[in-house]
Amino acid sequence: MNFASDNTAGIAPEILDAIIAANAGFAPGYGNDDTTRRVERKLCDIFEREVATFIAPTGTAANALGLAHITPPWGGVLCHAESHIVTDECGAPEFFGGGLKLIGLPGVGCKLAVDTLRAAINRYSGDRPHQVNAAALSLTQASEAGTIYRTHELAALCELAHAHGLKVQMDGARFANALVRLNASPAEVTWKAGVDVLAFGATKSGALAAEAIVFFDPAAAAFMGERRKRAGHLISKHRFLAAQFEAFLANDCWLRLACHANAMADRLAKNLTEVGRRPVWPVEANLVFVMLPKSLDSKLKSAGATYYSRHSDSLPDGLAIGPDQMLVRLVTSFATTAEEVDRFARLMTV
Amino acid sequence: MNFASDNTAGIAPEILDAIIAANAGFAPGYGNDDTTRRVERKLCDIFEREVATFIAPTGTAANALGLAHITPPWGGVLCHAESHIVTDECGAPEFFGGGLKLIGLPGVGCKLAVDTLRAAINRYSGDRPHQVNAAALSLTQASEAGTIYRTHELAALCELAHAHGLKVQMDGARFANALVRLNASPAEVTWKAGVDVLAFGATKSGALAAEAIVFFDPAAAAFMGERRKRAGHLISKHRFLAAQFEAFLANDCWLRLACHANAMADRLAKNLTEVGRRPVWPVEANLVFVMLPKSLDSKLKSAGATYYSRHSDSLPDGLAIGPDQMLVRLVTSFATTAEEVDRFARLMTV
Amino acid sequence: MNFASDNTAGIAPEILDAIIAANAGFAPGYGNDDTTRRVERKLCDIFEREVATFIAPTGTAANALGLAHITPPWGGVLCHAESHIVTDECGAPEFFGGGLKLIGLPGVGCKLAVDTLRAAINRYSGDRPHQVNAAALSLTQASEAGTIYRTHELAALCELAHAHGLKVQMDGARFANALVRLNASPAEVTWKAGVDVLAFGATKSGALAAEAIVFFDPAAAAFMGERRKRAGHLISKHRFLAAQFEAFLANDCWLRLACHANAMADRLAKNLTEVGRRPVWPVEANLVFVMLPKSLDSKLKSAGATYYSRHSDSLPDGLAIGPDQMLVRLVTSFATTAEEVDRFARLMTV
Amino acid sequence: MNFASDNTAGIAPEILDAIIAANAGFAPGYGNDDTTRRVERKLCDIFEREVATFIAPTGTAANALGLAHITPPWGGVLCHAESHIVTDECGAPEFFGGGLKLIGLPGVGCKLAVDTLRAAINRYSGDRPHQVNAAALSLTQASEAGTIYRTHELAALCELAHAHGLKVQMDGARFANALVRLNASPAEVTWKAGVDVLAFGATKSGALAAEAIVFFDPAAAAFMGERRKRAGHLISKHRFLAAQFEAFLANDCWLRLACHANAMADRLAKNLTEVGRRPVWPVEANLVFVMLPKSLDSKLKSAGATYYSRHSDSLPDGLAIGPDQMLVRLVTSFATTAEEVDRFARLMTV
């Protein structure tokens, strides 16, 4: 019953097999290998256009490298106040971006609304050169609350951003989990909706460590190789990163893995609802948030359940964490089984 | 006959097996797993003292993170002018170090002499706050020329550095190759000789991607976790980095792998010498440099040999690359076979 | 009727005379002159302890240099959300601080309350190394709203900050204006209350361009000279900065200039109150904020008044800027005359 | 007999008068005043084209801001190894440029030769993304040795740089001194020769603190306002910087001041040559370097002479500083008198 993070799972079998297979013989280092070329072409296919791809070993790197490439040091990045880049990356975007400023905005379910974005753009425009002006928008798909932006929501946000000269980055650490929930193609939920650069995560979905930074306008990626290298994120035996992505993307493996994780979250949500613990936010990816009495916590933990509690200012209207309550985050992954999910819910009823 | 780099080899079998074994079940992310703890303890054993260890996925990261932690942004790092940090990391030390300055010094065989260091310390001291003052010394062991510092040479350099307030970093991307050539313990060639922080490489020696930053004074590592995290170098599924190191260090695996690579370099050097192509520098690790007529190059390449040519200002006195010559770097690794080595040398005689 | 900023006034006569007098003969550059030595000693006298002083030409530099010296790149600076460092310095603290994070907090009248600070420290502590942890507190004295912290308020905030390991910086661009309102000595409202480093402004008070960064623990200022130099803020003909400060501090000139500016603000507040336009915040320094109908604005402007309108989320409870209103900031200075003040208020009644 | 630096002189009378005159009344801050507009237009006139101008208070800032604007963080700046940006700015270019690399090159008389530049461009091109590639060329006019580049020399260097995609910055801390020696217009020795951005110094020539960053392609200056602001180099009472420049440029004041300083250097060189102490480099600006026996030093100092000794690796062929000698730098300025010059030379003969 490990619901602590999708990072606590190991490597999906298809991906581990690919690492093993990639170990045959010699290959040029630093991304000059054939596997890397194939992954680059595969991503062009998946996104239905020429894209420029750079693989890095962590999501923090993928976010920070992408943001730094579209935001000048004197620019601001509009994003949700509880997004990963704000709360969990120890200032990586600021470091990579030469001191750029993350501007955290509110929004229920960790999603940004168009009105919120409009007000923020108005506020962080003008009064140059005194005020940091908004230069980019970062959207998390799926969000930290496990919610997802619909295609039309993305399009509206991106259109507004572009109309004011902002570039749009998407933190897609759980991009696959969002995609399989939407009735849309990868192209439709990214560049066709207006996303300029995507951090396309494989690690949380089942890779060892592999995240792709995808620029939908290859020209905008000029010198990204240098930026990645000097950040220490060009892996020398790059074939092993590429092999992970190749297996991840082959035969819809990534979609299958995400579907399983999401299905486990759905099952968990259903189970919890049935025992009177309805998730606080809609369960749309592989994250389930429930409010639990503190008294239940030790019981669950001693039964072997693992998870983290969270604070949030993004709860639905009228909801707050009571003094005897905790907001608990339950994460499912490709490795989660129906048995653990059912067992966890049963613990609540005993 | 792939002598292009020790990065073109794959993963040593022992290490790949460890990755596979580590894939069982769930484990806490971000280095909070048991394997990471064991590796930390193992490194204390190997170095015969308490050390603070941080694993990163690349040598560039390991060097830049370590250097940034011991050098203020206004400080200079004295190092060989042809060291990896100067020529091959695209400014990573400057980026991580907030604009610190690398000060490249000359030295035959890519080694620094005590007199050179003394003169540099004198030159880069004083005239504050106008002049960047030397704050650190970086030594590469084994060097880019495949030569190694003897224990007494290290001690003399470190003593001089410490006497003037400089900290000492060692780029040990090929630390194992150097160690097995010296009749000394890991402790003797590092902290006992005066090294403050070591980038201890496993990748070139046979890992997928794993480099340990080892602080010999754990107190000097305070907040290194933050520095690594915000650089995007804290791998979420950290157990897989730790597993690589655990296998690498277990049962003297690292020493065996390095001995093999060095033995192949020795054999190559012997073969080349016998056909009249004596290496330009002493072969002390897993690198062999020879001067070849350009006419031979295409023959070797078409026979399937892979290697890079290099420029160097660190040749022994009296030696220069003639107009029809090229300086060729041949790198051996754990995966190099005696057959390829012998075949390569035979190509020269035909 | 120029109430746009205290920056629109020129140089106070005493200070201009000092610049002229300093022009005699030659003097060593870069702060090695006698005048600089005298200013350093004078500041020790004024603050009743050994202090380390560094003069810079702008308040932005003084704030950013001081903050960068007490906050690591991975640290957060707690401050009011409408403080100058957040809204008006184009990311200078982030740039100087290698990507540190400013964490803006709410507070009526642009002042931070102890409870707000406590909650923020709790929120921005722990979860290392993922979360940026609070490392410093920045207080603006007088605040952007023209309010001031009482000595006991400063002491309570600093005590709380220190108890959690935070250093305290004070943005004293209008330090003189605050001081003359408090019945306290310079020492009492700075280091005796717990301030670690002060940006002590002279420019807004009447200098051409001179701000002193004052470290109350000289040891904490080690290498500040290097930090200032590499930021381009060590003025070569430094005697002219020192001369400004010497005249500013001599014979209580700074206190007199500030008293005049404050008196003009008081007079303006009284006038406005009499015509039914009570300032929105207490007038405690040289800033007066009033809510005006937009219809009045063009009348005032065409009569020759100069001022800026502002937005604020720090209004007293129950107050908001109506759709036909604007919040107007009126700044007085050493150069403001009673005539302009009275004329401005009269315009409202006609 | 103060020959220590042109920074030890005070403010030229014309410029001080302008500061005094600028003190009348109120003026908008931050460069929004009329004087700043006039200076901007005047510089367009002087350079015979539209230029974008930004005034900063120090030469270090002017150099670092300009270089950072034309060089990406992963780029290298080719420059003379003894240029001010390398030896005397404590890493300011690296700080402002996000970790860019200064690549110091040799050259007699602190000037770069075309062949040296060509070799450096070849060396620092390619091997991307591993090697820092040359992105800019910085030329010092007049040089640190007091020599100057002829117009055709500038043109040849800039043409070579541009042909390889490098931008060209000129450190013109002593631009006026160079210009008055050349039979050429300001346009001819800058943009017509290929210079992209100039740090046009007034401070060493007689201002209090004023340096203009001049972009010859205004489009290339986009967001320079932000870069300057966040570096703390936008002076609030900007009219006083602009007033310095206005007086400096009015009625050929700058040319007269430079002519005087140069004439004093010529006179000093002639005097020294007559007593057998021929300057080591051609005296082409306001710097005179002579080799003196150490025994003479204390005599000169006790007679009241002030100057610094220097080391240099840029001496003419065959010349070296003997064990009993010192290389002495003598700087003249607008404030130097013929009497001091003559007195200094006489001291050598007694």
Is residue C303 predicted with pLDDT exceeding 80? yes
Q: How far is D114 from chain C (nearest CA, A)?
A: 30
Q: For residue C349, what pLDDT band results from cuts at 50, 70 and 90?
A: confident
Q: Dihedral sign, CA of C69, A100, C77, C165?
A: negative
DSSP state for residue B293 in the 8-state scheme: E
Could you read off the pLDDT of B130-163 as tens digits, one per residue? 999 999 999 999 999 999 999 999 999 999 999 9
| Residues D86-108, mean pLDDT to the nearest whole number | 98
Please determine, for residue D350, whether its predicted confidence score (pLDDT) is greater than 70. no
- Give per-residue pLDDT as tens, C105-137: 999 999 999 999 999 999 999 999 999 999 999
Please tell me the predicted confidence (pLDDT) of residue D318.
Answer: 79
Cβ separation of D226 and A99 shorter than 8 Å? no
* Beta-carbon separation of B20 and A16 below 8 A: yes
Contact criterion met (CB < 8 Å) for D240 and C11: yes
Which residues 202-221 in chain D show a CB within 8 A of chain C?
A: 203-204, 208-209
Q: Is there a contact between C232 and D5 if contact means CB atoms under 8 Å apart?
A: no
pLDDT at B317: 86
* Residue of B99, B102, B129 lying closest to D95 (CB–CB): B99
A108 confidence band (pLDDT: 50, 70, 90): very high
User: Could you tell me the pLDDT band of residue D177, with boundaries at 50, 70 and 90?
Assistant: very high
Contact residues, D window 100-129, toward B, CB-based 8 Å cutoff? 100-102, 123, 127, 129
* Cα of D306 to nearest chain B Cα, Å: 17
What pLDDT sits at residue D208? 98
Q: Is some CB atom of chain D closer than 8 A to the CB atom of C16? A: yes
Best of B2, B23, B55 to mutate (most A CBs within 10 Å, chain A): B23
Give chain C's end-to-end CA distance (angstroms, integer).
17
Tell me the residues of chain B between 301 and 330 that have a Cβ less than 8 Å away from chain C: none
What's the average model confidence in pLDDT over C66-90?
A: 98
Mean pLDDT of chain B: 97
* Percent of chain D's residues with pLDDT above 90: 97
**What contacts D153, CB < 8 A, 6 or more positions away?**
D111, D114
Confidence bin at A318 (pLDDT 50/70/90): confident
The percentage of residues in chain D with a pLDDT greater than 70, rounded to a whole number, is 100
Q: Subunits touching A (CB < 8 Å, at least 3 pairs)? A: B, C, D
- Cβ(D96)–Cβ(D71) below 8 Å: no
Measure in Å the smallest separation between the Cα of A14 and chain B Cα atoms.
12
A225 at D interface, C-beta within 8 A: yes
User: Quick check: A317 pLDDT over 90?
Assistant: no
- On average, the pLDDT of chain D sits at 97
Residue D155 token pair: 């043109």
Q: Is the pLDDT of residue B81 over 80?
A: yes
Q: What is the ipTM of this complex?
A: 0.97
Q: How many CB atoms lie within 10 A of CB A142?
A: 27
Chain D residues closer than 8 Å to A124 by CB: none
pLDDT at A183: 86
- Chain B residues in contact with A64 by the CB 8 A cut-off are 232
Residue B94 contacts residue B101 (beta carbons within 8 Å): yes
- When pLDDT is cut at 50, 70 and 90, the band that residue D317 belongs to is confident
Share of chain A above pLDDT 70, in %: 100
D225/A128 touch (CB, cutoff 8 Å), yes or no: yes
Q: How many CA atoms lie within 13 A of D304 on its CB side?
A: 8
B91 contact residues in D (CB cutoff 8 A): 73-74, 99-101, 132
Contacts of A282 (CB under 8 A, 6+ apart): A109, A146, A147
pLDDT digit string, tens, across residues D115-168: 999 999 999 999 999 999 999 999 999 999 999 999 999 999 999 999 999 999
Contacts of C7 in chain D (CB under 8 A): 29-30, 236-237
- The span from the CA of C174 to the CA of C202, in Å, is 8
| Mean pLDDT on B61-71 | 98
Q: How confident is the model at residue B350 (pLDDT cuts 50, 70, 90)?
A: low
Instruction: Report whether D310 contacts D287 (CB < 8 A).
Output: no
State how far the Cα of A137 lies from the Cα of A122, in Å rounded to an integer: 13
Which chain B residues in 152-191 lie under 8 Å from chain A, judged by CB atoms?
none
Q: Do A87 and C130 touch (CB under 8 A)?
A: yes
Least confident span in A213-222, A228-237, C310-319, D35-44: C310-319
The C-alpha of C238 sits at a distance from chain B's nearest C-alpha, in angstroms, of 14
Question: How does pLDDT run across C228-265, given as a tens digit for each residue?
Answer: 999 999 999 999 999 999 999 999 999 999 999 999 99
pLDDT tens-digit series, residues C262-302: 999 999 999 999 999 999 999 999 999 999 999 999 899 99
Mean pLDDT of chain A: 97
Provide the pLDDT for residue D281. 97
Nearest to C208 among D9, D231, D237 (CB): D237
The answer, yes or no, to whether residue B318 has pLDDT greater than 90, is no
pLDDT score of C350? 66
Q: Does A228 touch chain D (CB under 8 A)?
A: yes
Q: Which chain C positions have a beta carbon within 8 Å of D332's beta carbon?
A: none
Q: How far is B200 from chain C (nearest CA, A)?
A: 22
Mean pLDDT of the residues in chain C:
97
As a dihedral over the C-alpha atoms of residue C203, residue C205, residue C208, residue C211, rounded to 10 degrees, the angle is -30
- Rounded to a whole number, what is the distance in Å from the CA of C61 to chain A's nearest CA? 13
What are the distances in angstroms from CA B122 to CA A307, B104, C10, C246? 57, 15, 47, 37
Mean pLDDT of A314-320: 90
C28 vs B: CB within 8 A: no
Contact call for A240 and B11, based on CB within 8 A: yes
CA distance B239 to chain A (A): 9
Smallest Cβ–Cβ distance between C234 and the set B99, B129, B227 belongs to B129
Strand partners, D104: D79
Q: Which of residues 62-91 of D touch C (CB under 8 A)?
A: 62, 64-65, 89-91
- The nearest alpha carbon in chain C to A94 belongs to C99
Mean pLDDT of A179-184: 95
| Helix/strand/coil for D139 | strand
- Substitution target from A223, A233, A238 for chain D, most D beta carbons within 10 A: A223
